Amino acid sequence: MTAETSTTTQETRPNRGGLEGVVAATTALSKVEGTAGRLIYSGYNIHDLARTTTFEEIAYLLWFGRLPNKTELVDLKVRLLAERSLPTAVLQMLRDLPATAEPMDALRTAVSAWGAAMIKGQPTIDQAIAVTAHFPVFLAAFHRLRNGLEPLESHPELGYAANYLYLLTGQVPRDEHVKALDAYLVLLADHGMNASTFTARVVASTDSDIVSSVVAAIGALKGPLHGGAPSKVRDMLQAIGTQEQAEGWLRNALGHRDRLMGFGHRVYKTEDPRAEELRELARLADPQEFALARRVEELALALLEEQKPGRRLYTNVEYYSAVLLASVGLPGDLFTPTFAASRVIGWTAHILEQVGNNRLIRPESEYVGPTNLQFVPIDQRR
């Protein structure tokens, strides 16, 4: 979600173009309280929603502004089920991609191709439902194709989280895995004016279409300083290997000024409430993997406090996201695309909110280049 170095507060470093502290939009979707360590979705504390709601309930909350009753939830699920198609042209495009293509690039292209054929006009909730439902379908199809397997049809009895795992593996997933993934999808669904959501709103503010906005947001989420780094947490834990090697590995890394992955956040100056939930979910999902992750976390926090006192580096959302997603069987390069399959409901809700009360987002730049250069025609240039 962020770089460790992003945690320095505005007071100690002048604005270097990051728009820190600049309010770019008003929203009724989520509230991030960085100092209190609190995250609110449309009035509800994330701790009340995690593990008690499903992805579809949170999609309803963000799109319609309130939690659904049973009938409304069933209705939304039916509408999502109806939009799980894999059009022939998109399938062909995914087949034609090299197996080495990055899944985020495959997703970006598939959503773009689908939208070019299917979506016209101003953003609507129907379009938000349709684009969201296609994310797991496109991702799983690409993942199977790159492994030499044919894509599968969606399972008519499985919801968003379970069907995603089914489409990847061909197996009806275990209940613990579905619950863990569903909770993950709930926790990552929205987070204030993060870079990909902001990107989606900037594009929407030009009166462009919902797919152009979502495609842009996918590109932003891909960046390692935003959503593109959780697999590096897994890489770090794999490199450490055992609890016994943890302290030596971490001290060595810090001695070489390497960045420890999964700590620090631009906004949170205390523990990220999502990290707290994800830690418990990871503990339940795979106790053995959790034990190593927990030991590394404790050591890393102690060493960071020892070596970078006052920097207030806490465990961020990426750390246990990586542990949890690995425990439900996802390969590292699907971590960020799975993040996208959650955040797409936040993106689309923000797009709808932006167009509902729009103003073109068009900041200024400060020119620092040369002025008044004398133009010389090319024939006379040396």
How many angstroms separate the first and last alpha carbons of the chain? 48
Q: Measuring CA to CA, which residue among 320, 118, 331 is closest to residue 214? A: 118
Supply the DSSP string of 239-281, one letter for each residue.
HH-SHHHHHHHHHHHHHTTPPPTTB--SS-SS--HHHHHHHHH
CB closer to a second copy, 24 vs 158:
24
CB closer to a second copy, 106 vs 129:
106
Beta-bridge partner residues of 32: 39
Q: How does DSSP classify residue 12?
A: G
Sign of CA dihedral 205, 211, 215, 217: positive
CB closer to a second copy, 97 vs 303:
97
What lies within 8 Å, CB to CB, of 200 at 6+ separation is 213, 214, 216, 217, 347, 348, 350, 351, 354
Residue 166 Cβ vs a second copy, minimum distance, rounded to whole Å: 23
Residue 358 Cβ vs a second copy, minimum distance, rounded to whole Å: 8
CB closer to a second copy, 73 vs 125:
73
Residue 192 Cβ vs a second copy, minimum distance, rounded to whole Å: 5
Largest Cα separation within the chain, whole Å, is 76
**Cα gap 128→113, rounded to integer Å:** 16
Residue 313 Cβ vs a second copy, minimum distance, rounded to whole Å: 16
CB closer to a second copy, 156 vs 376:
376
Point out the catalytic residue in the list 4, 57, 277, 318: 318
Residue length, the chain?
A: 382
Annotation marks residue 265 as catalytic: yes
Residue 255 Cβ vs a second copy, minimum distance, rounded to whole Å: 25
**Cα gap 70→204, rounded to integer Å:** 32
54 exposure class (CB count in 10 Å sphere: 0-12, 13-18, 19+): buried
Catalytic residues: 265, 318
